[in-house]
Amino acid sequence: MSGSATRDRRESFGDDGGARARILARVTRATTLRDRLRHPGRLESPAPPDPAATFVKRFTSQGGEVATPDPDRSPRDWLTSFLEGLGDDVTTIAIGADVPTRLQPRSPDVPPADAGTAREESPGQLHYLIAPAVSRNSVEPMRHVAPAAQAAVGVSLAWGAVAETGSLILPSTGTRAVQLLPPVHIVWVPADRVFARLEDALIELQPRLPAGVGLHSGPSKSADIGQTVVTGVHGPGRSIAVLEG
Amino acid sequence: MSARIGDYATRSREAIRNHPEVRTAVTGATVAFDEKRRRAYGEVDADLWRRWAEAVKNHLLTHLGDYLVEAEARLEANGAHVHWARGADEAREIVLELASRHSVRSVVKGKSMLTEEVELNPALERAGIEVYETDLGEYILQLLDEPPSHIVGPAIHKTLEQVQRLFADRLETDPGGDPDELARAARGVLRDAFINADMGITGGNFLVAETGTVALIENEGNIRLTTSLPRVHVALVGIEKLLPRMSDLAGFLQLTSRAATGQSIGCFVSLVQGPAAAPGDDGPEEVHVILVDNGRTDVLVHEHAWEALRCVRCGACLNTCPVYRQTGGHAYGWVYSGPIGSVLDPGLLGLHEAMPLPFASSLCGACFDACPVRIPIPELLLAWREEAQQQGLTPWKERAALAGLANVATRPPLYRLAGRVGTRLGAARAARKLPMLGDWSNDRSLPSPSPRTFRQLWREGIK
């Protein structure tokens, strides 16, 4: 066995110019020491039979909730009454930049197209904060973080969902602060994009990967204090998926 | 945290004698983790998954140079910046330079063992930067100025009562507050930190070469926030953390989650490709990935230890280990504790620095059965022990005892005599007088010896 006992790690101090070449040279030398081993190909794991049903089962078993829209009403009418049903203290809703108008809640006073504005209204009445549909680079930095931090509910659009792991796939073309800061997160899921396996979803997503993707597989939780599970530690404490279409 | 492994035995004894609550808390938590892991393995063809994952990582490690270059090219194409760091000092310098360039005053961090390894937090603090550990367990330890004691559950050695006292003192919570109230208090402090931080720093569970994707698994949402809200995201990734393809990531995310916490996948996974560059894309303005060696290439050239580089840091071997369960991680004296620490630390730090960790095991083999990438930990422990023996790093008593044994065993008349003395005196009493065996038998009952030696029995014909 070769000994590495005496090497002083501090010898590596120096300008960063050499680091890449040195590391790659050492790695290359190491790979000449043994046979090059082959990639085993894809992991063969069975696909769950009914993706939508499996997603609902998995997501709820992980603490997520699934709400079913009323087929006789428009999605936005259904969402408006669903939000009203969440309680009188739920007055501020943050809506992701990529949520289309037909999936935004209705408000008689604030037209949803009025992006980025918040309006004080009488208590008990919903008002909406719509994240600006542009990247932070070109707007005031805190503009969409601050409203989402005040909101009781965030509404997002998922790119898809995964049955195998009970996951929502949330792209950064939505608004990250809306996906993460409000204590309740309502997520529209296109019903025709519930993938059986995680691998299927990632391969489908691969050619159009945005800067960031979040897989949300239930509410935020932690057992770091006395091994007792608590929810809503940093992210949403309630995660509600709504299959649409 | 700087390595101080040498007095492992002293620290273990102290932990067991003076802090019985640590043993109770650690055993409780690890037994629960281990049961969840077993149940989660039972739901899939775990043997097939583990063999697959082992083969993917073996392929990766025997083609590592190619994949590092591919990952770098992909990340740069995505608009991210790639840095290389040979040692801890270079990794720290790169982060400090970035912090200075962006006038960073406040940093939020996701849990990262690599940043512990390179001692990043003290360096940032010395530069006048406020650092917030945002994983709840890490936050507790930061308030206490303690290092993590477990790869996945950094504060499992702390009891509810200890956290109640700490938070009552520092966050003015009710001294009898339940975990919900305590978590809410921490959330309040950290929520402000997230919104005001100039930089987010994380590790990386995986880096997919094919797409330049840094993947991070967690349950609280703090890593999602750390990689989403601040202007700049810096990820420190060990060079062994690569995966060839996106399709590999799907398997590794699930297998790692099952091994670590028994979940089918962590509550949150962040897939970071780069900064938000395209119109309508939301996220940090800059993403930097630091590829860190810090001893990994030493492990890669090692005849046996290279297999430990398959490690995905799930902590399954800690949870199942009867030795780790007695003391928790602090006794081990460095970032990586338990069975994986005992085989990885000698490679990363040098065997001399990591003594006597390869001996801190009963070789029961439970760690191998739990390991999602089938690292042959018991075999690697033996290989390190052999190397320690060859380098003269084992205690003199042990060397003397083994030399004595060799002397006796290679001289038949002497061996016969020793056998007879042993049976007359009683092996239990004899053992207590012998070097090394004396220590061993202090805490154990030896079986009573046969009144006749094996050779006598053999001559008489064993019935």
For the stretch B62-96, pLDDT in tens is: 999 999 999 999 999 999 999 999 999 999 999 99
Whether B347 sits inside 8 A of A4 (CB atoms) is yes
Higher pLDDT, A61 or B401: A61
Q: Of chain B residues 425-454, which have a CB less than 8 A from chain A?
A: none
Is the pLDDT assigned to residue B360 strictly greater than 50? yes
CA-based nearest residue in chain B for residue A212? B272
| B84 domain residue, yes or no | yes
Chain-wide mean pLDDT for chain A?
A: 82
| Shared domain check, B265 and B149 | yes
List the CATH number of the domain containing A197.
Answer: 3.40.50.10420
Chain-wide mean pLDDT for chain B?
A: 94
Is the pLDDT assigned to residue B120 strictly greater than 50? yes
CA-based nearest residue in chain A for residue B351? A5
Query: Which of A10, A20, A230 has the CB atom closest to B84's CB atom?
Result: A20
Q: Which of A113, A151, A147 is nearest to A133 (CA)?
A: A113
Is the pLDDT assigned to residue B232 strictly greater than 60? yes
Q: What is the pLDDT of residue B179?
A: 97
Q: What is the pLDDT of residue B463?
A: 60
Is the pLDDT assigned to residue A10 strictly greater than 50? no
Q: What is the pLDDT of residue A110?
A: 45
What is the mean predicted confidence (pLDDT) over B109-118?
A: 98
Q: What is the pLDDT of residue B187?
A: 97
The percentage of chain A sitting over the pLDDT mark of 90, rounded to a whole number, equals 62
**pLDDT tens by residue, A120-166:** 433 344 555 555 433 333 333 334 576 788 889 999 999 999 999 99
Last residue of a domain, one of B296, B321, B342: B296
How deeply is B42 buried, as exposed, middle or buried, from its count of CB atoms within 10 A (0-12, 13-18, 19+)?
A: exposed
Last residue of a domain, one of B296, B314, B340: B296
What is the mean predicted confidence (pLDDT) over B204-227?
A: 98
Split at pLDDT 50, 70, 90, the class of B15 is: very high
Identify the weakest region by mean pLDDT among B23-32, B51-60, B278-287. B278-287
Is the pLDDT assigned to residue A5 strictly greater than 60? no
| Shared domain check, B77 and B201 | yes
Q: What is the pLDDT of residue A128?
A: 59
Instruction: Please tell me the distance from the alpha carbon of residue B227 to that of residue B110, in angstroms, as a whole number.
Output: 9
Last residue of a domain, one of B296, B319, B334: B296
| Containing structural domain, residue A58 | 51-244
Q: What is the DSSP letter of B461?
A: -
ipTM: 0.91
Q: Does A150 touch chain B (CB under 8 A)?
A: no
List the CATH number of the domain containing B185.
Answer: 3.40.50.10420
| Shared domain check, B418 and B269 | no
* Chain A interface disruption, residue of B282, B373, B386, most A CBs within 10 A: B282
Instruction: Please tell me the distance from the alpha carbon of residue A210 to that of residue A203, in angstroms, as a whole number.
Output: 14
Q: What is the pLDDT of residue A16?
A: 58
Whether B306 sits inside 8 A of A164 (CB atoms) is no
CB pairs under 8 A between A and B: 331
What is the mean predicted confidence (pLDDT) over B164-173?
A: 97
CB atoms near residue A15 (< 10 Å) = 8
Q: Does B172 touch chain A (CB under 8 A)?
A: no
The percentage of chain B sitting over the pLDDT mark of 90, rounded to a whole number, equals 83
Chain B residue numbers touching A179 (CB-CB < 8 A): 224
What is the mean predicted confidence (pLDDT) over A216-231?
A: 95
Domain count, chain B: 2
Helix, strand and coil in chain A, % to nearest 5: 30, 20, 50
Domain count, chain A: 1
Q: Of chain A residues 1-60, which have a CB less than 8 A from chain B?
A: 1-7, 9-10, 12-14, 16, 19-20, 22-24, 26-31, 33-40, 42-45, 58
| A199 domain residue, yes or no | yes
| A8 domain residue, yes or no | no
Q: What is the pLDDT of residue A117?
A: 44
Q: What is the pLDDT of residue B416?
A: 86
Q: What is the pLDDT of residue B2?
A: 75
What is the mean predicted confidence (pLDDT) over A213-242?
A: 96
| B11 domain residue, yes or no | no
| A57 domain residue, yes or no | yes
Q: Does B89 touch chain A (CB under 8 A)?
A: yes
| A23 domain residue, yes or no | no
Q: Does A165 touch chain B (CB under 8 A)?
A: yes
Is the pLDDT assigned to residue B451 strictly greater than 60? yes
Q: What is the pLDDT of residue B399?
A: 81
| A97 domain residue, yes or no | yes
| Residue entry with tokens 């119109």 | B279
Instruction: Please tell me the distance from the alpha carbon of residue B149 to that of residue B141, in angstroms, as a whole number.
Output: 10
**pLDDT tens by residue, A81-132:** 999 889 877 878 888 888 998 998 876 444 444 444 444 433 344 555 555 4
| Containing structural domain, residue B93 | 45-296
- Residue type at B388? A
Is the pLDDT assigned to residue B445 strictly greater than 90? no
Is the pLDDT assigned to residue B258 strictly greater than 50? yes
Instruction: Please tell me the distance from the alpha carbon of residue B315 to that of residue B256, in angstroms, as a whole number.
Output: 9
CA distances for B148 relative to A221, B27, B336, B348, angstroms:
19, 16, 9, 18
